[in-house]
Amino acid sequence: MPQSPQTAAPLGVLAFAGSLRAGSYNRALLRAAQELAPEDLSLTLFDLIEVPLYNGDVEAAGDPPAVAAFKAAIAAADGVLIATPEYNHGVPGVTKNAIDWASRPPREAPLGGKPVAIIGASPGATGTARGQSQLRQAFEFTNSFAMPQPELLVFRAHEKFDEAGRLTDEATRRYLKSFLEAFAAWIRRFA
């Protein structure tokens, strides 16, 4: 019998930001997502600070501990939420590097068959639109299910977070909440 969202098992989502800086808007956006997630969706944040640049020689010798932990966390999750900045109209290396590690080995990669959602924040006017669009292409190769809609583009981010990194813009908070509800429904499609 189909389960309603109220009675279905809670969903575990692994979330990471493609930025390493402490004051990152994208990390702050994920903290807001933790706060605003629906009851049936639990977000765990993974910090990429210890994940090295992808190197096939290092991989052949065995995944470094941070990479192994990252891949295991994705494998155990029901879905993956990525908050990516945009650098020079594209995906920053930090985001892409994480995807590259998690795309290995090709047929047994933790990203394979995984529901994914992309969000992003930038002080600019387009709120990571180009970076998000480019990132979607990677999920064609990893065979991951990137949620097509809704999209969450947090533009003029410097006006939407306070000094402590709390998302204070009410419209963005409401939209983030409905985005997470949509992602929970998206994940359940693949259960």
Scanning 62-70, 87-95, 102-110, 173-181 for contacts with ligand FNR by CB under 6 A, the matching segment is 87-95
Q: Among 63, 184, 84, which Cα is nearest to 134's?
A: 84
How far CA 115 is from CA of 1, 78, 110, 173, in Å, comes to: 23, 7, 11, 22
For residue 88, state whether it binds ligand FNR (rule: CB under 6 A): yes
The SS3 of residue 44 is strand
CA 78/CA 190 separation, integer angstroms: 9
Of 89, 156, 166, 174, the residue at the interface with ligand FNR (CB under 6 A) is 89
Scanning 8-16, 68-76, 86-94, 96-104 for contacts with ligand FNR by CB under 6 A, the matching segment is 86-94
Of 95, 122, 144, 172, the residue at the interface with ligand FNR (CB under 6 A) is 122
Strand partners, 120: 153
Instruction: Judge contact between 36 and 180, C-beta under 8 A.
Output: yes
For residue 79, state whether it binds ligand FNR (rule: CB under 6 A): no
Strand partners, 116: 80, 146
- Smallest distance from ligand FNR to CB 52, Å: 19
- In the complex with ligand FNR, which residue's Cβ is closer, 16 or 183? 16
For residue 19, state whether it binds ligand FNR (rule: CB under 6 A): yes
For residue 85, state whether it binds ligand FNR (rule: CB under 6 A): yes
Query: How buried is residue 7: exposed, middle or buried, by Cβ count under 10 Å (0-12/13-18/19+)?
Result: exposed
Of 16, 25, 183, 186, the residue at the interface with ligand FNR (CB under 6 A) is 25
For residue 123, state whether it binds ligand FNR (rule: CB under 6 A): yes
Residues that bind ligand FNR (CB under 6 A): 19, 21, 24-26, 85-89, 122-124, 126
